[in-house]
Structure 1
């Protein structure tokens, strides 16, 4: 039986009286890649920050591998990895030093962490510049270092916020392959993305957030049944459910004027 590794119950975040995330209930099982979609400002990043313990919810609970992220933070964080949308790195460290630092924070044996770091740097094409300072890296290369550091301790849960930003097509494809391999090994992957094509190709299920409320979740095929249109792309389903069709209507009107 598949184990639930990510779970929220009535998870809510308010700023003043305004709910940014509103009574969110979802589950992500082992071996599953779950795509978290929504317009800008829908509450995706806020949700991920609550799942990581970086932000306190106003109400409700979040669990990682059965551990309450607020009450059992140490146990939960040892089993997860988080890749933010704008990662910050120590520019005066090399890629190798940064990976080994992350491994030490997870109390990995030095011989294990060294081998793991070498393997990850090779995988992400960082080996030739492994000992250069990170301050000289491009945004895309920094993103690769962050992804490698997130994988150093072989987490059971990965939380990724717009992970493909700044990656070239080959690196984005590599990320997809790595996440799918992790899922096959039993990990849970939770990622937010604006690129619906990636979500459709990669994710077993998706959830669509609008104004802090989860308005739909399921496989792309299940969502097609929800909107009642077979064969629609995930982008079409997203626009149908969020009502975010103003740009399409504008384009059609411009085409009509031409």
Structure 2
């Protein structure tokens, strides 16, 4: 397995205003075949970090590389190596579910046979077989979120950036997504996952990065986070509370 990180963020400072950055000198890595949980309170900088990774925001300082590529030197290679699931679904109301998934697969250069196999598998996994020819404007919020997830996973990039994907999903949808992410991880792809549902992601992520007020205050395995909080053996939710409320 390659030792080059799939995602490398080095000294990232950025935000919406040069005079008031949201992120302060953030450095982190995601390795091949690794699922990393990005956790923090509202306003901690999770979504801002993801926007910088996606190229929606320009860093004030620092750098971001995906598979060793940067947006400045290889924009096409950089963006083709990642896929994104946003917190809120954004779809074309006059396109069907099938059209969304096919459009995305074409954008990523997925061949027809792979598209058909992946589309079929995803529609079955998320119980969307009977909705594939429905217009997205007629779907519930949870179903729209499933479409966003299907679009992200019909491609097969090195890195998936996933922001609060469980909102609006029913319990079966959440379980299907978690199981499929484990499959993706075993295939060698990497996942950066942001979620407030810490009890759900605790047993799925390999490592965690705790953001607080735009800074990384702890990172590592559950055991390493426990050591950083001075409370070894506690579940992730309690450790997070100790870190952000306990003055650590």
TM-score, with length taken from structure 1: 0.91
User: Which residue of structure 2 lines up, in the alignment, with residue 162 of structure 1?
Assistant: 164
Instruction: Answer yes or no: is the 8 Å Cα contact 2:45–2:213 preserved in 1.
Output: yes
| RMSD, matched Cα | 1.5
Instruction: Answer yes or no: is the 8 Å Cα contact 1:94–1:130 preserved in 2.
Output: yes
| Among candidates 66, 85, 88, match of residue 87 of structure 2 | 85
Instruction: Answer yes or no: is the 8 Å Cα contact 1:34–1:204 preserved in 2.
Output: yes
| 1:1-258 correspondence runs (5 A) | 1-3=1-3, 4-14=5-15, 15-243=17-245
TM-score, with length taken from structure 2: 0.94
Distance in 1 (CA, whole Å) between partners of 2:71 and 2:190 is 16
Cα-to-partner distance string for 1:53-102 (whole Å, 9 max, x where unaligned): 12111111111111113432210111111011112001111111110111
Cα-to-partner distance string for 1:183-223 (whole Å, 9 max, x where unaligned): 11111100111111122121110010011000100011111
Secondary structure of the corresponding residue to residue 40 of structure 1: coil
Structure 2 residue ranges without an equivalent (≥5) = none
Distance in 2 (CA, whole Å) between partners of 1:46 and 1:93 is 29
Instruction: Report the more deviating stretch, 40-49 or 100-109.
Output: 100-109
User: Which residue of structure 2 lines up, in the alignment, with residue 250 of structure 1?
Assistant: none
Q: CA deviation at 1:47?
A: 0.2
Distance in 1 (CA, whole Å) between partners of 2:170 and 2:117 is 26
Secondary structure of the corresponding residue to residue 155 of structure 2: coil
Cα-to-partner distance string for 1:103-161 (whole Å, 9 max, x where unaligned): 11112233432332222212211111111111111111111111111011212100001
Q: CA deviation at 1:2?
A: 4.5
Instruction: Answer yes or no: is the 8 Å Cα contact 2:18–2:60 preserved in 1.
Output: no
Distance in 2 (CA, whole Å) between partners of 1:16 and 1:68 is 22
Structure 1 residue ranges without an equivalent (≥5) = 246-258
